[in-house]
Amino acid sequence: MKTFHCNHCSQLVFFENVRCERCESLLGYVPELHEISAFEDAGDGRWRSLHPRADGALFRQCHNYAVENVCNWMIPADSPDTLCRACQLTRTIPNLSTPENRLYWYRLEVAKRRLLYTLSELGLDVPSRDANPEQGLAFEFLADDGNGEPVMTGHDNGLITLNIAEADDAHREKVRTAMGEPYRTLLGHFRHETGHYYFSRLVENNTRWLEPFRELFGDERADYGDALNAYYRDGAPADWQASYISAYATMHPWEDWAETWAHYLLIVDVLDTANSYGLALLPDDPSEPTLTDRTPVEEASFGNLMKRWLPLTYALNSLNRSLGMPDGYPFTLAAPVIDKLRFVHRVIASAADSGAGTQAGEAAAPMPIPAGESGAAPNQDPM
Helix (H, G, I), strand (E, B) or coil at 165: helix
What pLDDT is stored for residue 361 in this prediction?
34
User: Is there a contact between 30 and 49 (Cβ–Cβ < 8 Å)?
Assistant: yes
How confident is the model over 202-208, as a mean pLDDT? 93
What pLDDT is stored for residue 379 in this prediction?
61
* Helical residues (DSSP H) of 179-246, grouped into ranges: 186-198, 207-217, 224-234
Q: What is the DSSP string of 300-329?
A: --HHHHHHHHHHHHHHHHHHHHHTT---S-
Residue 33 and residue 57: Cα distance in Å, rounded?
A: 12
How confident is the model over 251-272, as a mean pLDDT? 97
Residue 178 and residue 172: Cα distance in Å, rounded?
A: 10
Q: What is the pLDDT of residues 101-144, one digit of tens each?
A: 999 999 999 999 999 999 999 999 788 988 898 889 999 999 98
User: Is there a contact between 311 and 291 (Cβ–Cβ < 8 Å)?
Assistant: yes
- The predicted model scores a pTM of 0.90
What pLDDT is stored for residue 241 in this prediction?
95
- Residue 153 burial (CB count, 10 A): 17
In this predicted structure, the answer to whether residue 366 has a pLDDT above a threshold of 50 is no
What pLDDT is stored for residue 108 in this prediction?
97
Q: In a 10 Å sphere around its CB, with 0-12 CB exposed, 13-18 middle and 19+ buried, how is residue 367 labelled? A: buried
The torsion angles phi and psi of 270, rounded to 5 degrees, stand at: -65, -40
Q: State the pLDDT confidence band at 92, using cuts at 50, 70 and 90.
A: very high
Task: For the chain, give the mean pLDDT.
Answer: 90
User: Is there a contact between 339 and 243 (Cβ–Cβ < 8 Å)?
Assistant: no
Q: State the pLDDT confidence band at 377, using cuts at 50, 70 and 90.
A: low
In this predicted structure, the answer to whether residue 290 has a pLDDT above a threshold of 90 is no
Distance, first Cα to last Cα, the chain:
34
Determine the residue type at 329.
Y
Q: What is the pLDDT of residues 334-363, one digit of tens each?
A: 999 999 999 999 999 999 887 654 433 333
Q: In a 10 Å sphere around its CB, with 0-12 CB exposed, 13-18 middle and 19+ buried, how is residue 77 labelled? A: middle
Q: Kindly give, in sequence order, each residue whose CB lies less than 8 Å from that of residue 7, ignoring residues fewer than 6 positions away.
A: 25, 37, 38, 49, 50, 51, 52
Q: State the pLDDT confidence band at 370, using cuts at 50, 70 and 90.
A: very low
Query: Higher confidence at residue 363 or residue 56?
Result: 56
Lowest-pLDDT range of 136-150, 198-212, 327-341, 363-377: 363-377
Q: State the pLDDT confidence band at 378, using cuts at 50, 70 and 90.
A: low
In this predicted structure, the answer to whether residue 79 has a pLDDT above a threshold of 60 is yes
What pLDDT is stored for residue 380 in this prediction?
59
Query: Higher confidence at residue 377 or residue 77?
Result: 77
Q: State the pLDDT confidence band at 150, using cuts at 50, 70 and 90.
A: confident
Lowest-pLDDT range of 68-72, 126-130, 136-140, 188-192: 126-130
Q: Which long-range contacts (CB under 8 A, 24 or more apart) does 357-361 make?
A: 357/124, 357/125, 357/126, 357/127, 357/198, 357/201, 357/202, 358/123, 358/124, 358/125, 359/125, 360/125, 360/126, 360/127, 360/131, 360/132, 360/136, 361/85, 361/88, 361/125, 361/126, 361/127, 361/128, 361/131
Q: State the pLDDT confidence band at 286, using cuts at 50, 70 and 90.
A: confident
Express as a percent the part of the chain with pLDDT over 90.
Answer: 77
